[in-house]
Amino acid sequence: MDWWQAVICFAAGLLCGLLARRQGLRTRIESGLSEARTDGLTGLVNRRGLDAQLADWFAGPESVPAPWVLAMIDIDRFKEVNDTHGHLAGDEVLKWTAKTFQAWFSDAILISRYGGEEFALILPGGLARASESVDALRRRVADQTIDVAVAQVRITFSAGLSQATTSSDTRQLVHETDEALYAAKKAGRNRVYVSVQGKPVPWDAGAPCGVG
């Protein structure tokens, strides 16, 4: 091998090494971003991941898949579970809830642990279909007993839902859904409310006025 061949081989090896290091760095960054958007307890997407997805969809009208619904679901009186049975039991309830949502909403576009005992789901279809599904699960959960490590626990949940439209934006959609959830809590918990024309109304196993 002459001198020029040696130089070329050295340069090629150096370039390959730099490319490999860059690819490794990119992989570590992407892995870190993925972990930063994943809830460590349940394995679901966390609030940061959900917000990023919503922001991406609302970047332009052509980005919004239609139709779909945002649902926010909050475990009622979850603090009592922690206070009575301990935080390990509370963690088991959260993991059970996550798995139940994944099984029940098998066609969900995204299921997220939004924070604490609150979950956010992006469900395909119209508001009536999503509300029926959420309410059916609400009734089912209320009739079940959850076996955790130290006790048997019963829970209920409240939910708020809002239909995404091409005129919606992230802040508006989250606000309307959150208002519906708050109304469900205020009305006594263990119920579903939906946002109709920006106003929260109860979903009583049938479509209220304005929901098709």
Catalytic residues: 117
Q: What is the C-alpha to C-alpha distance for residues 128 and 99, in angstroms, rounded to an integer?
A: 24
DSSP state letter for 38: B
Q: Is the dihedral of CA 146, 152, 156, 162 positive or negative?
A: negative
Q: How many Cα atoms within 13 Å fall on the side-chain side of residue 96?
A: 19
46: phi then psi, degrees, rounded to nearest 5: -95, -175
Q: Which residues pair with 72 in a beta bridge?
A: 120, 160
